[in-house]
Structure 1
Amino acid sequence: MHMSLQLLLLLPILIFSILESFVKLFIPKKRKAVSGEIVLITGAGHGIGRLTACEFAKLKSKLVLWDINKHGLEETAAECKKLGARVHTYVVDCSNREDIYNHAKKVKTEVGDVSILVNNAGVVYSADLFATQDPQIEKTFEVNVLAHFWTTKAFLPAMMKKNHGHIVTVASAAGYTVVPFLLAYCSSKFAAVGFHRALTAEMAALEKNGIKTSCLCPNFINTGFIKNPSIRFLPTLEPEEVVDKLMKGILTEQKMIFVPSSLSFVSVLERLLPERFQNAMRRIMNVKFDAVIGLKNKAQ
């Protein structure tokens, strides 16, 4: 078939899709039940991971919590148990592939097949390229991206067998728009967003429509990972607000979860607007946070 005719045949699909999306804006989507689902959350010892675990505990899910910090993990587990949840904890180094695989085997034996995987663990080093040490760059990618591959490879086969499951990627607005002095972090989060989108496409190609995917992309969050963040026109987010949007996105099977939602427009504009205008916008937005700058010393 001639290419122009093929493109013409796509036009009705485009029009229908736009109309369908517009109508869905006014129809609240029913939230799915997750009671009894086995939910594994990495980086569950603090911040977004801890709050997400507590929300799933309220919904009567069975929790599997991973973190490298044993003390924080135990605190999260105690909070979730108070909410009536069954909790299993494992001290796991998400920068270590073999540690992930070994603990995944334990989870399958001791708990069962994970049906909701929340890849939340992350690290950030706020510094320019030369002030970021090589091991820090490696760890950023090991935790923020590669761990997603290892956890997904471990738990996805059981989901595919049942054609049922949900894989959640906690990324960042930095996975769509760049920020100076977060070079390694931005790069890793761009990769995390790419992981989510490619995995989504792969499940569709394999006709595993029962396996859902979601990706969270929030602005700066007040968790202490980045010191003194500020950005003009956008507030620093509180963790509770982000988790509220994350849970809503998971339960309504939303593929992209931007917090605030206006960030979705930024991701589109970056692909359309001229570079000069984008640079001017960055100056106006005036993104600030505490960072180590080694480039100036290197240049001298």
Structure 2
Amino acid sequence: MPISWSPPSSSWILATGFTNLRMNFLLETLQLIVLSIYYNVEAIIKCIIPTKKKDVTGEIVLITGAGSGIGRLMALEFARLDVALVLWDISQEGMKETARLTKEKGASRVHYYLCDCSDKSEVYRVAKQVKREVGDVRILINNAGIVTGKKFMDAPDSLIEKTLEVNTMSHFWTYKAFLPAMVDNNHGHLVCISSSAGLIGVNGLADYCASKFAAIGFAESVALELLATGKDGVKTTIVCPYFINTGMFDGCSTKWPTLLPILDPVYVAKNVVNAILTEQSYLLLPRSMNLLMALKSFLPSKQSVILGKYLGAFNFMDTFQGHQKKRN
């Protein structure tokens, strides 16, 4: 008796496809629930039990904007950890002083290079020099930053462009220069020093906020690219501090110093280095910023406005005196 065969009907194919889709949905949803519980428990445990710090002995650490401010202070923190320090800044004198101070703290290998991070060609040129003279950078800290301190309509186009070039575009160029070696070895750490102004808009800081929002978006996207390609050995940390008492925001005041204090730069530097050593993905300072960000995500827009007024976001910059060449 001959065997007959006919192709499956379109309705059968649709039914099978729907069944598979539903099964995938259920399995992936179950996976999401289980992993969500696991990671939340893990986060709670880490809050109770201090995370072990990774060993960075012998690593090459590059800090942009290292001639002053928290750039210098982070270099001093790393000086105690037996790393090779690479300092970048537009101030030769500032870097010399940072190098001197780090050597006093015990750093044995300190290299400094004059580099304007807003200049793509200069970043690539100096990066090649660093690779040739020092080696492959393993911890890259993008810290250099400027602020105009002018309202949007009063800010010259040239200063707006410079703000974006230093605070945002420089991250693109340094990542392009140093990330390939990290990816090849699946080992490294990228650090984006952004700002609380990269999370919440501030009256009088339109260009600065835009540059810091962009820096966060860029750093988050690169972090996801690394995870998607299996390069989980390259860690990322995004830092969002409130105003720091480094001179960059001289004259600015805070309405409620207990809730949102002007931050001590040594405190910030220590917390940033600790975040790197414990591989924290995000660091918001002060801690109250975490609560404010949670509120921002679900409050009605009009309530967000009155909360901003209450916190003084409308008047932070009224007494601004700092100048653009200082680092945050």
Q: What TM-score does the superposition give when structure 1 sets the normalisation length?
A: 0.94
Counterparts of 1:71-90 in structure 2, within 5 Å, are 71-85=93-107, 86-90=109-113
- C-alpha distance in structure 1 between counterparts of 2:104 and 2:46, whole Å: 37
SS at match of 1:130: helix
Give the unaligned 5+ runs of structure 1: 293-300
Find the counterpart in structure 2 of residue 19 from structure 1.
41
SS of equivalent residue, structure 2 residue 224: helix
For residues 66-113 of structure 1, give each alpha carbon's deviation from its aligned partner in whole angstroms, at most 9, with x where no partner exists.
000111111101111222321111000111010000000000001110
Among residues 284, 290, 293, which one is paired with 1:267 in the alignment? 293
Which residues of structure 2 form unaligned runs of 5+? 1-20, 322-328
Match 2:51 to one of 17, 26, 29: 29
Runs of 4+ deviating beyond 3 Å: none
**Structure 1: distance between partners of 2:41 and 2:76:** 37
Q: Is the CA contact (8 Å cut-off) linking 2:260 and 2:288 kept in structure 1?
A: no
Aligned residues: 292
Judge conservation of contact 2:123–2:174 (CA < 8 Å) in 1.
yes
Q: 209, 221, 224: which is aligned to 1:186?
A: 209
Matched, 1:247 2:268: no
CA distance in 1, matches of 2:87, 2:35: 43
Which residue matches 2:223?
200
State the superposition RMSD in angstroms: 1.4
Deviations 1:173-226 (CA, angstroms, capped at 9, x unpaired): 011111000000001100111112111111100111111110110001111111
1:278 alignment counterpart: 304
Give, as a single letter, the amino acid of the residue that structure 2 aligns with 1:125: T
Q: Which residue of 2 aligns with 1:5?
A: 26
Q: Which residue does 1:55 correspond to in 2?
A: 77
CA distance, structure 1, for counterparts of residue 46 and residue 141 of structure 2: 26
> After the TM superposition, which of the residue ranges 228-237 and 29-38 deviates more from structure 2?
228-237
Letter paired with 2:194? A
Distance 1:97 1:262 in 2: 36
Greater Rg, structure 1 or structure 2? 2
The answer for the alignment partner of 2:92 in structure 1 is 70
Once the two structures are superposed, residues 96-154 of structure 1 have per-residue CA deviations (whole angstroms, 9 ceiling, x without a partner) of: 01000000000000111001100000011111111111011111111111111100111
Tell me the distance in 1 between the aligned counterparts of 2:37 and 2:183: 32
Deviation sequence 1:144-173 (CA, Å, 0-9, x none): 111111001111111111111001000000
- Residue 120 (structure 1) aligns with: 143
Matching residue's letter, 1:276: K
**Greater CA drift, 3-12 or 33-42:** 3-12
Are the equivalent residues in 2 in contact too, given 1:173–1:219 (CA < 8 A)?
A: yes
1:267 shift after superposition: 1.7
Which residue number corresponds to residue 172 of structure 2? Answer: 149
Alpha-carbon offset, residue 18 of structure 1:
2.1
* TM-score, normalisation: structure 2: 0.86
Greater shift in the superposed pair: 282-291 or 69-78: 282-291
Code of the aligned partner of 2:98? T
Structure 1 equivalent of residue 163 of structure 2: 140
What's the CA shift string for 1:250-270, capped at 9, x where partnerless?
100001011112212222221
Task: Check conservation: 1:128, 1:291, Cα contact below 8 A.
Answer: no
Contact 1:33 1:251 in 2 (8 A): yes
Structure 1 vs Structure 2: percent identity of aligned residues? 46
The residue type equivalent to 1:5 in the other structure is L
SS in 2 for 1:253: coil
Aligned mates of 1:224, 1:109 — CA distance in 2:
35
